Amino acid sequence: MDGFVLMAIKRIAVETAFFCEGPYDSDNGFERLMACKTRSDLNNSAFGDVFLHSFLRGKSVEEIKSVVLNSAIQLIVAIKKVSAEIAEQILLQTPLPPEAISVARPANTCTV
């Protein structure tokens, strides 16, 4: 799958859970979110100006990640006509293109 299409899918998926006013990286923090394991990880990760939508406030990190991941999987299934399992593999095993790797900036945290 084209890296830029995949990046766009990740952006759209993140926007199902977050308002992304000024994210630090090109995928709106998708990779950072997938690396979070606890609420503390989420609060301490630098995302930029990214705010959790109110319907997800109070949800666990796993629930938030599930919303974002399922959204991205559905988009890949629709575009590539593959199973959800294959879509998840595409999503989680594809490295970001160089343009999507974030640069060092002042640490802002995700507001949850």
- 21-66 residue pLDDT tens: 888 888 999 998 998 998 888 877 777 788 899 999 999 999 999 9
CA-to-CA separations, 6 to 13, 41, 45, 92, in angstroms, rounded: 10, 24, 22, 11
Q: What is the mean pLDDT of the chain?
A: 83
pLDDT, mean of residues 66-75: 97
Share of the chain above pLDDT 90, in %: 53
CA-to-CA separations, 86 to 5, 13, 111, 112, in angstroms, rounded: 16, 17, 32, 31
The pLDDT value recorded for residue 24 is 86
More confident residue, 106 or 14: 14
Q: Quote the longest CA-to-CA distance of the chain.
A: 40
The pLDDT value recorded for residue 97 is 45
CA-to-CA separations, 89 to 5, 19, 42, 53, in angstroms, rounded: 15, 26, 23, 27
Quickly state the pLDDT bin for 94 (edges 50, 70, 90).
low
Structure tokens, 107: 């640490």
The pLDDT value recorded for residue 39 is 84
The pLDDT value recorded for residue 47 is 79
The pLDDT value recorded for residue 111 is 55
